[in-house]
Structure formats: structure tokens, C-alpha cells
Amino acid sequence: MIGTDPLSQGGIASVVSVLVDEGFLQKHTIKYITSHVEGGSVKKLVLLVKSVFDVFRMCLFYKPRVVHVHSASDASFIRKSLLLAVARLFDCNTIFHLHGAGFEQYVTKESCTLMQWWIRRTLEKSTKVIALSEEWANFLCKIAPRADIYVLPNSVKLEPLSDHNEEEQGRILFLGRAEQRKGIFELLAAIAQLKLSYPAIKLVIAGDGDLTAVQRKAEALGIVENIEILGWITADQKQQQLQRACIFTLPSYAEGLPMAMLETMSAGKAIVVTPVGGIASVVKDQLNGLLVAPGDVAALAAALGRLLGDKSLRVQLGDSARKTIADRYNSARVLEKLSHLYDELSGIYVL
């Protein structure tokens, strides 16, 4: 298995961390090769060269049954496509596991004709392509019609149920990279609208990104006292913030299947999100969360305000969200499907 450092930041690291914590790598005798870490260009280049050498060595001497890469867009895709090409030289079964929310734009708008050919070839030459949702599977079918696509959502452990009595009234949590794609600036504008009705409202921003720009926008909107910028936080700190928040929101323009949202639903929190990427497969409006259109500040403010003023609705949606995770997205259930896929590619069939 090849991917980013499990201890680093981002969605892929979160996914791999679940595999590590659940003992999945050990169970399947998986050698994990880190192909990317946080740091400068030289450090990243050295690690890339090392990962190519490691994959070549493993394929040459051990002939792994499966080579499984976790990929996003841009440089991540280029790295993983090269490593898959190495694995194919040795006739290994390969899995291309797509996570990047920006992959559609990367393929359709940012890639030249040659790169689009290489993307299609990489997908179609892979033994299996894992998509996080039916929506992503449909898109991949369009750009790589001969790819063998397998839908497998991200998963999370069923977290301890939040105690609603510990929630802080008016506290809204945003987990993720604070950037335009995540709708952070529209969220700030929504907080400015809600401030009049809820003077004690507090938006907590936990994640990296252009935090200076976020601070400047908050100043321009007059809501500096209503935001708390934490930056990147640890897993323990995240659990603490989940306990304190009464609402989670992620008003993104594009997503894969965000781990932060799944973790929040697992904890039984009410959520306000946008029906983009794989989110539409998970969240049903007014059943296990509230959905708003990307970029619609008025609708976002209305949804957040509705939850701020109705604790019973928050509890109802949070309970339904947790049941959704327990039924369909808990790690035990999803990793069992991944195990079956590994068995299939390894020539092991369980009756």
C-alpha cells in the first residue's frame, strides 16, 4: 500500500490512519510505503525516489499480490501513476484509490490532452479503481470507460456518543482546510448575518489553509470576536472540539467523501453541508443533516440559524447521523468489503 504519511495532515492520512488503527495492515500482511510527507521540495523529491526504489524492490523480490495506491490530484496523481506503472511491469494486481475532491477539475480543466490520456490510461490499466461514491464512479466511467470501478466509501470508527449537555450554545465547528473550495468565506459571511440574532455565536476553524486571509475577512465583516482560529489540531483535540460544538458545517464547492464529516456524524452531531461529491450519497436533507447549495450564503445562514434555535432538531439529526455511520460507514463494515476485494485480487475466494 502506498500513500501519504499517516501522521501528516489531510484526508488520505485520515483514511490510512483508520486502516492502521483497525489493524488492517497487519491482518493482510501489508507493507506500507510512504510516498509523500510535509516539507520542502528537496525532502519530497528524495522520498519520491526512495518510494520508487522501494516499490521496484518489493515487486522484484516479493511479487506482492496487490499494489494499492491512495491518490488525489496534481502531484499526488503523478507520483502514484508512476508507482503503478512500476508495479505493472511486474504484472502485479493494482488498485487506484481516488480521494481528491479536485480530481474532476484536474482532469477536465487543468490537464492537457497528453495528461488526460495518461490519466485515462492509468485508470484503465489498473486492475481496480476505487471510487468513494456512485457519483464519483459515474464521473470516472465517463473519462475512463474501460476502467473496472469499485465503489467503497471512506469509513470511521463509531465514536463515543457526544453528551449534548456538554455542548456550548452557539458554537459551530469547521474542520478542514480553510480555503475557497471549502466555502470558508461564505461561511464567514453567514456568521456575520447570524451575529445580529445570536450575538454569542462562535465559529471555530480547525485546519490549515490561508488563515491570514480568513482573519482579514473576519475583520472586514466585523466578526473577529465571533471566530476562533485553531489551526491544525491533533486527534485528541478534535474530539474535545466535537464535544463542545453544537453544530458542524462544511459548505464546500467540491468534495470526495470528507472524513471530518463522517467523524462528526459518528459522534452524533447535527451537520450543515453541501450536496457535492460523495456527500449526496450520505446526507439526506432534514433526515440526518441539513443540505444547502454551495455558495448560497443566505441558505447557509438560515440552516445554521435553524439549528442554533432548535436543540431538539439538533439532537434528532445527530442521532440519525450516527445511525447512518453505524449502518453503512463504520470501519468494521467497510473494511470487510476491502478485505473481500483483496481476496478476490489475490485469487482467494470465500464461500
The whole-angstrom separation of Cα 211 and Cα 197 is 26
The whole-angstrom separation of Cα 310 and Cα 91 is 58
Residues with pLDDT less than 50, the chain: 349-351
> Hey, what domains does the chain have and what are their CATH numbers?
2-155+331-346 (3.40.50.2000), 164-329 (3.40.50.2000)
The whole-angstrom separation of Cα 133 and Cα 177 is 21
Is the Cβ–Cβ distance between 136 and 144 less than 8 Å? no
Q: What is the pLDDT of residue 157?
A: 87
Nearest Cα residue to 164 out of 245, 238, 237, 241 = 245
Distances (CA, A) of 98 to 12, 291, 292, 313: 9, 24, 25, 35
Supply angle C-alpha 84, 86, 88, rounded to 5.
Answer: 70
List, for residues 61-95, the tens digit of each pLDDT value. Answer: 999 999 999 999 999 999 999 999 999 999 999 99
Give the ranges where the chain is alpha helix by DSSP (H).
11-21, 24-27, 41-61, 74-89, 103-105, 113-125, 134-143, 184-194, 211-221, 235-244, 259-266, 279-282, 297-308, 311-324, 331-346
Q: What is the pLDDT of residue 348?
A: 59
Residue 41 identity (one-letter amino acid)? S
Residue 291: beta bridge partners? Answer: 273
Residue 44 identity (one-letter amino acid)? K
- CA-CA-CA-CA torsion for 297, 301, 304, 309, nearest 10 degrees? -170
Distances (CA, A) of 262 to 11, 82, 222, 248, 273: 11, 31, 32, 11, 11
Q: What is the pLDDT of residue 122?
A: 98
